[in-house]
Chains A and B, each alone.
Chain A
């Protein structure tokens, strides 16, 4: 392509002048205006946009909190309470940020659930999926460090437990732990570096989100049928159809968010975190935030420390391999009745682990955690690789428009009902 001004179709002369030199308006029009999108999304396809909104809310509230927060072990707890009491609408900003973390995980868990159920990770979207897993890992690190900042009892003791996990690694373990602590215990240097990193990492997330969205706009979206669009009859422009559908989702999401913030802001937190951190007094039960409970249960299900740590990290790292572990060519589980049952069991195992993670490490919870952990991994390492070879998926629709609009709407002539669906050919 020859160098020179971009051929802009923008009418407004000022905007046109800009667009000719930096075609951002053309880009937005292409990627969010006319962008061809499968016509059959259900409301599960809202959650990517919701996660984006949530990220922006977290960054906006976080910047205002950072203006008033003191990252010092002597002042952190009181500075947070000062935000709650004396900063104008400080309670609102903090409760939005605090519950925003929970909302972020709820939204992202549903987004991941959507991806796993509808096979959004399968070719050609493997890299898109892996970037998503990367975002999730960054989110976990950010959330963990953020929880340390108020410097309550759970902040301190959560930090002690989690940072100590790294000491399980042979040779480099102690070095890593000292590096995380900035000393020889969780103390002021730990708090200051966690604050710095907690401020940095959201912007790293923004960077990976950009790549995630860029990759999405190369392959295009998956859809509930898991059948690729075959032509313009299968797609609709993103705007106005999905901008308005996302708006509906955003309002519902904000209502759930508001209900939490305004009427039960501490429901998802732990009361112990309103006790100032005290290195001399260990809480009776150290529990992480609810969204980390499944991994905490996996950690405690293993009698060996290093084994537990490895299994805990593997429980997320295994997601990276899912595109290659799943041998089925059929994306959507709408057409995989057997896979659906195994996936439902996986969701239950995840929920059971979340429940057990909040309970003390004693029987029967340890045994239950072990069974659930075993199934959690078996789903990825045994069920997904083998099931694609043995199951008989239901026949896939020929195209999205046929499935959505029916035969008459296509003007395709009098076809018998069964002919619309072509049986899945075994690969």
Chain B
């Protein structure tokens, strides 16, 4: 039985290493490792980077991409003060209503409002973007295989010559990290395109890194709490397990002497 188990376990390990969802290799290039602080099993989000990332999202990405599952209040978790977040929210105008007279009206956004979407609906978004629909970014890191590294690679993967024989469609761009290699989104991050409020040098690589950190946080804002709780749970279970095993040994030892 022991040898049997060993062989089965080995076969299982090989299968597990092969990956559970059996992601097809596809045509896209494997993403580069961004070396993110949160990628580590016990890692945390770099708050300063995530805050800068929000700035990149607000000034660049938000022109086309919505994040409809996030509210302005969520930004407090990024380390911004409530007053700062109130001020950020107030710079956006949202439609509210109907009021007492049944009319819709516009007002500055509050903490409780969802992030304002750039387009009224998908059709409007497609019309403004050459027929392509910019995906919502609320859970984008969870929604792509190896999400953070993929986004980072994609954002910094422009400007390469397409391999011979590949013709890029009208209004499309070559990016080796995108499945199929042709992406409607152009290169959006360029050196010194924005001015970081904390004075960090806004290289394209830095901006890609920062916005990826922000989006990773937005996709799984519970990550840090989850990992902290996980460590406590595992420590508790390890102690409980040792106790249970000790008790088991003791009870079974009594059994053996009794029947001898």
Chain A residues near B (Cβ < 8 Å)? 39, 78, 81-82, 84-85, 91-92, 95, 117, 224, 233, 236, 240-241, 244-245, 247-248, 251-252, 254-255, 258-259, 261-263, 265-272, 274-276, 284-285, 287, 290, 293, 334, 340, 344, 347-348, 351, 354-355, 357-360, 401, 405, 409
Contact = CB atoms under 8 A, between A and B. Distances in A.
Nearest to A290: B20
A411 B22 CA distance: 58
A245 B139 CA distance: 42
Contact of B22 (A252, A284, A359): A359
B255 A262 contact: no
Interface string B97-139: 0000000000000000000000000000000000000011011
A351 to B, nearest CB: 5
Contacts of B136: 276
B121 to A, nearest CB: 13
A316 to B, nearest CB: 20
Given A84-B222, A409-B259, 14 more contacts: A85-B221, A85-B222, A241-B252, A244-B248, A245-B252, A248-B244, A251-B241, A258-B230, A262-B227, A269-B21, A284-B24, A287-B22, A355-B22, A405-B259
Interface string B50-69: 00000000000000000001
The residue in A39, A92, A358, A401 that gathers the most chain B C-beta atoms within 10 A of its C-beta is A358
B247 to A, nearest CB: 6
Chain B interface mostly: helix
Q: How many B residues touch the partner, as a band?
A: 35 or more
B7 interface: yes
Interface stretch (B8-16, B29-37, B157-165, B168-176): B8-16
A225 to B, nearest CB: 11
A117 B4 CA distance: 10
B219 to A, nearest CB: 8
B83 interface: no
Contacts of B74: 85
A244 B251 contact: yes
Contact of B238 (A255, A262, A272, A358): A255
A258 B142 contact: no
Contacts of A269: 21
A252 B241 CA distance: 7
Contacts of A409: 259-260
